[in-house]
A and B are shown apart, each in its own frame.
Chain A
Amino acid sequence: MLKYAMGRLAVAIPTFIAVLLITFTLTVVSPFDPVAMMMSQFEGTLDTLAREEVIERIRDQYGLNDSYGVQFTRWVQRLLQGDLGISINGQRDVLRMIVKTFPISFQLGLAGAVVTTLMGIPLGCIAALRQNTWLDYTIVGGALTFRTVPVFVLAPLLLVLFVLVLGIMKVPRGWDGLLQTKVILPVFILALGPLPVVVRQTRAAVLEVFSMDYVRTAKMKGLEMWRIIIRHILRNALIPVVTTLGFIAEGLIVGSIFLDSIFAIPGFGGVAEGAFRGFDYPVIMGVTMVSAIMIILTNLLVDLIYPFLDPRIKLE
């Protein structure tokens, strides 16, 4: 297994380098100027002459007037020393930004994945066992409905309901740790995104397994239904679901851009959103790097876990 893992990692390195190279090139050749975008907050409050003078000076300070080759060499040299540079927009150390925000997003993403699992698998199972009934349609339709409402619409609507109409909470803001009530709503909304995937995948897998001979045998032996579901159906049906959950968790960790913004959560998604909005390329590079690593590691982890879940599969 170790040999397999090392081999996979070795193959991933060129992919990783290619991702960084493409991202860096796109940011440098892009017509957008991160300094000009940062200075847009001066629009109307500083005369244009002064604004242009400031922009030029800051571009010099960040080496943005240097050639592509010089910029790339400097970036690689810094990267090899563990230095991801300074954010142009926030004038902060990029590595520090990522180190401080990633654990928060990791916890949120993982919590979202757990909630998705806890809601999605039972709902998928019920939908399969009540196939083509109103309950099946309600579960699948309901999950899809929540999925189709964008987060930036759903979150404010739920906040209006809970804060203004029902008056049972204040607007949850910021991050005081995972075990706080203010996390409930963001995690719930986060979990709704991939919920239909889990529901539908579980439903399809359960339906498939339900018609297998060994399930029929278990029924004929007079086993209670809940035992059949847990011991015979779910155990086999969930193999593809569990592997999918890995990718769902990865997506939730790096993809909670809107939630970070709406709930002022100091997470990785907010860092990414700010970087792309302001074309803050040192941060874009850092965010891309971490996301690429996450995807590569998640792929590898899922591959390594698969043989444990399905003994018919061997790593080669």
Chain B
Amino acid sequence: MKNRPYLFVASLLMIAALALSACAPAAPAASDSGDADMMDSGEAEEMAGRPLPDDAAAEQVIRYVTRDLSRLNPASESGFGRPWISHMWMPFFLRDRNHDIHPWLATDWEVNDDNTVYTIHIHPDAAWSDGSPVVAQEAIDYWSWAISPDCTTCWAFLRLGGIEGAQAVVDGEADTISGLTAVDDKTLRITLATPSPTFIASMAHYNTGFVKMEDVNASEFAADANTRVNGPFQIEVWDLDTREYVVVQNPNWWGDEKPYIERIEAQWSNDENITYLMWQDGEADVAHWFTNIREPLRVENPDLFVLIPYATNFYFALHGAKPPLDDINVRRALLHAVDWDLAISAAYEGSRNERVMKTHLTPELPCFVADNWPDFGYDPELAKQELAASKYGGPENLPKIRISSGGQSPNYLRTAEIMAEQWKNVLGITDVEIRQGWGDAWGQEADLVNVQRNSWGATIPDPAAMISGLWQYYRAPHEVGLEDEELDAMMEELSSLDPQSSEFCEKVSAAENRLLGHYYFLPMIWDLYEYVVQPYVKNFDANVDNNWSTLLDIYVAEH
């Protein structure tokens, strides 16, 4: 051995490498070997029972690239698995781009006069991929687990928490949601704890799709190829460890209209440059989450962008209980001293010029009124007068303004810096400090932060819920501490209004207008995300939940 030292070292390394190679996961099938697994187009047509359009490609495969992909579980899905989750575990209804609700797993629903009891009729043909029928009791069983403490990192309780007896399950005091009753196999009765005319919107949310409980094997349940589905697609492989994600048609889907797409191959890409390279090289059909490249790409070819109709606000909340923002005149002055169009254009480098936040309700939401905040705008003279009229009298007596940019995005920081600069130029305010991050960035001074960057969104596009949620949050003393008894009454009324009624939008707008009159925030943007879709992917559309809501009709044309 003494004469063969290198041989010894080499042998040692080789043995270790072989041992670890044996432990490595088996090499998965390469994506471009998928041809062997796939049917030819004739077979696909036969199985699907739906002839392909004339211009369709022989292979109906979508290659999707996104930033992250997580475990699949309707009760915990948070973002990047959303495109098809409603097409695997179908919620009772499905939303389209305009937020209209369509029959999906259920055919229809009824509600009693006081909006407390909903009766949902499951489609008589609805069946799992193993052929067993979908029955109402399965929704009860899964939902009861999904909101219980046993379901780790689940948030289905946000959708189901209003059902009678749900809170006891959330608290671990009961096993089953008492307000759910299986009238028969295909009829589910839902009794709410308090009246809600908009509850049915939750039944169109992907969080309320349900998995057969026999397939839920752990508190950290993650669906795999063995998990039965009741929708038109099922998992071929969803492996977070090897980062392989393939969804294929469910050959046993019960619906009349089969999808064209046979297979969706999802790829994870945490590097935008690589995503763009794949896009340019024709290796991606649909991409999500471009940031820096988004605007140049949009300028070059705006038709590629399919906007997701989110209802998203980004803004700086002004704490009305903390000096100097305890005086509404100061808050008004801070708003009017900034040229918001210019500020947002500079902070977002021109990418959000059309999206400067001018109301809480976004243009994508029902009841949107573009000029519902009449005082909004840049008016330096008015700003000076307002500051002078405040109890502080002018900039010299103003206590320090501490801004927390909330998060690491340079856009937030730039907006804050521009605000501070304009306050200095217009109002002479100089005692302003900005820190990047949340309150924790301020350490001991966290309680003194009086301007906090925040966001507000609505996964359920209910304008009344959005406005009243904001009010509920910002009247809390530790947040903004707003007080307004009249607004309390208006918000109370909103929760009982039927969204279909003629007065609904009028009352929502009135409540929003009064809320905006408190000047409790400085606007940034109504943000909007999108899918970037190659032109040969036809009929592509998305709803507010990121779902590819038209997935049944999407096909890949010859290209």
Instruction: Give Cα A110 to B469, complex, Å.
Output: 55
Is A144 close to B, CB under 8 A?
Answer: no
Interface size of A in residues (CB-CB distance below 8 Å): 65
Which residues in window 72-118 of A have CB below 8 A to B? 86, 88, 90-93, 96-97, 99-104, 106-107, 110
A54 close to B155 (CB less than 8 A): yes
A264 close to B457 (CB less than 8 A): no
Instruction: Give Cα A286 to B303, complex, Å.
Output: 46
A40 close to B277 (CB less than 8 A): no
Is A276 close to B, CB under 8 A?
Answer: no
How many residues of B sit at the interface, in one of the four size bands?
35 or more
Q: In the complex, which of the residues A44, A91, A110, A175 contacts B455, with contact meaning CB atoms closer than 8 Å?
A: A44
User: In the complex, which residue of chain A has the Cβ closest to the Cβ of B243?
Assistant: A266
B274 close to A156 (CB less than 8 A): yes
Instruction: Give Cα A261 to B152, complex, Å.
Output: 27
Q: In the complex, which of the residues A44, A47, A91, A160 contacts B222, with contact meaning CB atoms closer than 8 Å?
A: A91
Q: Which A residues touch B153, using CB under 8 A? A: 38, 58, 61, 88, 91
A42 touching B78 in the complex, CB below 8 Å, given contacts A92-B240, A174-B243 = yes
Instruction: Give Cα A58 to B281, complex, Å.
Output: 41
User: In the complex, which residue of chain B has the Cβ closest to the Cβ of A42?
Assistant: B78
Q: Min CB distance, B231 to chain A, in Å?
A: 22
Is B53 close to A, CB under 8 A?
Answer: no
B473 close to A92 (CB less than 8 A): no
Is B312 close to A, CB under 8 A?
Answer: yes
B313 close to A44 (CB less than 8 A): yes
Which residues in window 257-316 of A have CB below 8 A to B? 261-264, 266, 301, 305, 308-309, 311
Is B267 close to A, CB under 8 A?
Answer: yes
A106 close to B17 (CB less than 8 A): yes
User: In the complex, which residue of chain A has the Cβ closest to the Cβ of B70?
Assistant: A90
Q: How many A-B residue pairs have CB under 8 A?
A: 168
Instruction: Give Cα A168 to B271, complex, Å.
Output: 21
Is A4 close to B, CB under 8 A?
Answer: no
Q: In the complex, which of the residues B5, B24, B438 contacts A104, with contact meaning CB atoms closer than 8 Å?
A: B24
Q: Which A residues touch B455, using CB under 8 A? A: 43-44, 48
Instruction: Give Cα A36 to B406, complex, Å.
Output: 12
A44 close to B312 (CB less than 8 A): yes
Q: Which A residues touch B155, using CB under 8 A? A: 50, 54, 57
Is B27 close to A, CB under 8 A?
Answer: yes
A242 touching B457 in the complex, CB below 8 Å, given contacts A86-B152, A261-B271, A264-B243 = no
Q: In the complex, which of the residues B13, B473, B527 contacts A49, with contact meaning CB atoms closer than 8 Å?
A: B473
Q: Which B residues touch A102, using CB under 8 A? A: 20
B28 close to A176 (CB less than 8 A): yes
Instruction: Give Cα A262 to B267, complex, Å.
Output: 12
Q: Min CB distance, B207 to chain A, in Å?
A: 11
Which residues in window 456-509 of B have CB below 8 A to A? 456-459, 466, 469-470, 472-473
A47 close to B71 (CB less than 8 A): no
* Chain A positions near chain B (C-beta within 8 angstroms): 31-32, 36, 38-50, 53-54, 57-58, 61-62, 86, 88, 90-93, 96-97, 99-104, 106-107, 110, 152, 156, 159-160, 163-164, 170-171, 173-178, 180, 242, 261-264, 266, 301, 305, 308-309, 311
